[in-house]
Amino acid sequence: MNKTRLQQLGQLLNASVVSKVLTGPEWEKEGGKKHPEVGDAIQLKKVCLMVVRVNGAELHCIEIAATLTPVEKQLLGWAVQQGGARPVSGASDLERQARKFGDWVQQSVTAGEWRAEVPDRMELRNRLFDGMVPFLLLCEQLEEKEPSYGELEKTIRSFISDETLLIPLREHEWLILSSDRVLTEADGDGDEVLGHEETKELLSTLAEGLHQLITGEWGGECHIAVGEPIVPSESVVRIVGTLRETIFLGRKFHVGMQIHLPWLVHLERLLSGIPEMVRSRFVEEMMGRPDLFTDSETVSTLDAFFSMDCNVSETAKKLFIHRNTLLYRLDKIKHEAGLDVRSFNDAVLVRILLLLYKVTKRK
């Protein structure tokens, strides 16, 4: 609510009216309910607090220096609810329900309530009992104006499925829930029962396609994480926390990557929990040559080698170089670092060193 409207409201109520931002715990401490909605009010001794907007974990309120009667609170709450719908002019009923649901998800993630089930009051709840594929989309530095909810939903549905739900979470961040039938539709072999590895490959392909669609349509940079199918009514909070962590780890350890898969960052998750001082000391003690990983050719060679499960022939194909050229580079690393990545133990050590080096020295 802008300053002019605050002044107009103050004149109507003959009282001072100011804006205030509270967290969920602060709202509860004042006597409010756990999951506040726009229009909810708390009458305190000298002031009345009313929620005018819910933005993730933040509650945007107005503080009225007066004691309001029940009727006044009811009328003002109704007016605030109508005003709250105005910024998303033309918003469909589905968008309103999705934003309300997104606010609840965000509040639950912030509160660490990973096992929270979707409450009955959520109008979307009946659509969340079937298997769905979760995507988390995080857009940054969009070249053009950020798409509206309707534009983004229409674009995504044109690629995945008409049954897809788009849930706004935080600024520039959306949860996309698509029917798990998208997997069998994307499977070229038409198998109705997909294996575990086959499912992961299809999920990765779908995320790649979605990324190309978004960047092709609006430019800029965006990151996408995708998880295995879930039943959202039971585990939507947990999967949002997992996918958010996956994007965080991917951006931290693999700069330049935009597709992030939870099953590929187990080691990164483990290393991320090690205190920075311990990580730095380990790197310094183990590095044969401090400048080894500053050579971009060495880093790209090792990244490709590990991504191909240490297979020399496949790595040479991936890098478009002759097999002997790759062997020469690996021998060079062995000579300079004293570690032969073709042996299991040394490969594990170099893999850890490379990951740690990326987050300890790239500052």
Mean pLDDT of 111-136: 91
Whether residue 283 has pLDDT greater than 60:
yes
Q: What is the pLDDT of the chain when averaged over all its residues?
A: 85
**Residues 4-44: tens digit of each pLDDT:** 777 778 888 888 888 888 887 888 888 888 777 778 888 88
The domains located in the chain, with CATH, are 3-84 (no CATH), 91-268 (3.30.70.270), 274-361 (1.10.10.2840)
At 57, is the pLDDT very low, low, confident or very high (cuts 50, 70, 90)? low
Say what the pLDDT of residue 192 is: 67
- Provide the whole-model pTM: 0.70
86 confidence band (pLDDT: 50, 70, 90): very low
Phi then psi for residue 16, to 5 deg, are -75, 135
Quick one: which of 242, 238, 240, 271 has its CA closest to 254? 271
Supply the pLDDT for residue 56: 59
